[in-house]
């Protein structure tokens, strides 16, 4: 069996708790090296996961190890440069979400992968959920009829991360929209099948983040809070469909964490988290639930799909072009929120 020789750039939390454990369980993959600007962190994970090689310089690692593929787990600011470096060395790339900070960067990454005929994917693991897969099948089968509206939400009551660079705008490009909101936005746009965007309007807030207060995810410093704590946007598409996106690190709501995607079609409606389908049959209104649906590890499914796609054994679910589309929406939402004016897309 051919094994994919994988290298990992970034020795932070997502590499430690997600990607490295996942790759260790796969017969098709072998992690041959790990790199981090903090050499001690790279060494610690190398020892923990039995990885022979660790580096501080990602270019040196790529040059010496010549891996087949690279997983990139670094702050958003460095996604584009490190992805391009890996692609130029002939490596397939799985980059954590979001693709980049700007749509121009995402487009550069997509074009480089296409030019070199390499796999480029992003860590939008919610796309791999059973909920999304079942709804996608129903959408493609026409069971919803025309979907005319959708909602994508991820709100945390007080979930501003108290670690890492999540409140640093230069490093991350933004707050909850580009972090957690990107997941719901990606899954919703996948279900809507990427219609042409005509109009984007959004507002944002930073009142709670800059004020400080109670925390449920580690304490943050309000004096260093540089991003939004909430974005609330509206998109209109060329086919007449509309989409509401709401996402926040901190908002005064009942729930600790609220995430959902809702679809409204002429024949059916659906809520994905939890999975429920609403319709009518035999002259009666019906609600369908799926209490015995098997719950998989979506991160594992995402990593397996990438590995198998690199080996030519499976179709890639999250493509580079789709990542560029999501980045385009994120950039337009931020532009509207920052300017106070709608964005008319060309």
Q: Where are the domains of the chain?
A: 4-125+300-318, 127-296+326-344
CATH fold of the domain at 127-296+326-344: Dihydrodipicolinate Reductase; domain 2 (3.30.360)
Pick the closest to residue 49 from 12, 74, 24, 15 (CA basis): 24
Q: Which residue has the tokens 């074009």?
A: 111
Distance CA 192, CA 24 (A): 35
CA 82 to each of CA 29, 103, 137, 281: distance values in angstroms, whole numbers, following the listed order: 21, 16, 35, 53
- Looking at residue 325, its pLDDT comes to 98
Instruction: Find the angle CA(17)-CA(19)-CA(25) to the nearest 5 degrees.
Output: 100
- Looking at residue 295, its pLDDT comes to 86
Q: Is 101 exposed, middle or buried (0-12, 13-18, 19+ CB in 10 A)?
A: buried
The two domains 4-125+300-318 and 127-296+326-344 share their CATH topology (first three levels equal): no
Q: What is the pLDDT of residues 171-204, one digit of tens each?
A: 999 999 999 999 999 999 999 999 999 999 999 9
Answer whether 198's CB lies under 8 Å from 177's CB. no
- Residue 248, beta-bridge partner list: 155, 230
Q: What is the pLDDT of residues 59-114, one digit of tens each?
A: 999 999 999 999 999 999 999 999 999 999 999 999 999 999 999 999 999 999 99
- Looking at residue 208, its pLDDT comes to 96
Q: What is the pLDDT of residues 53-64, one digit of tens each?
A: 999 999 999 999
CATH fold of the domain at 4-125+300-318: Rossmann fold (3.40.50)
Pick the closest to residue 82 from 127, 112, 54, 103 (CA basis): 112
């Amino acid at each position: 069996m051919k094994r994919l020789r994988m290298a990992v750039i970034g020795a932070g939390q997502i590499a430690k708790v997600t990607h490295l454990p996942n790759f260790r369980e796969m017969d098709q993959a072998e992690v041959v090296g790990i790199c981090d600007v903090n050499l001690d962190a790279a060494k610690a994970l190398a020892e923990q996961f039995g990885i022979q090689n660790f580096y501080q310089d990602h270019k040196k690692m790529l040059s010496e190890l010549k891996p087949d593929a690279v997983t990139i787990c670094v702050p958003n600011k460095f996604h584009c440069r490190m992805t391009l470096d890996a692609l130029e060395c002939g490596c397939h790339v799985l980059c954590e979400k979001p693709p980049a900070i700007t749509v121009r960067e995402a487009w550069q990454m997509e074009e480089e992968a296409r030019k070199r005929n390499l796999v480029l994917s992003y860590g939008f693991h919610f796309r791999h959920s059973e909920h999304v897969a079942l709804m996608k099948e129903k959408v493609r089968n026409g069971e919803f009829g025309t979907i005319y509206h959708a909602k994508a939400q991820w709100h945390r009551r007080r979930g501003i991360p108290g670690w890492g660079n999540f409140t640093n705008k230069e490093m991350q490009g933004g707050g909850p929209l580009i972090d957690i909101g990107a997941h719901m936005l990606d899954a919703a746009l996948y279900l809507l099948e990427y219609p042409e965007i005509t109009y984007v309007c959004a507002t944002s807030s930073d009142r709670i983040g800059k004020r400080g207060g109670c925390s449920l995810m580690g304490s943050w410093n309000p004096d260093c809070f540089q991003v939004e704590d909430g974005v609330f946007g509206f998109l209109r598409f060329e086919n007449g469909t509309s989409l509401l996106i709401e996402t926040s690190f901190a908002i005064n709501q009942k729930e600790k964490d609220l995430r959902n995607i809702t679809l409204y079609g002429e024949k059916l409606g659906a809520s994905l988290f939890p999975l429920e389908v609403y319709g009518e049959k035999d002259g009666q209104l019906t609600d369908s639930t799926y209490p015995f649906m098997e719950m998989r590890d979506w991160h594992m499914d995402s990593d397996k799909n990438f590995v198998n796609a690199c080996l030519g054994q499976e179709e890639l679910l999250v493509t580079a072009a789709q990542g560029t589309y999501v980045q385009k929406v994120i950039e337009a939402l931020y532009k509207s929120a920052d300017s106070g004016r709608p964005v008319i897309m060309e």
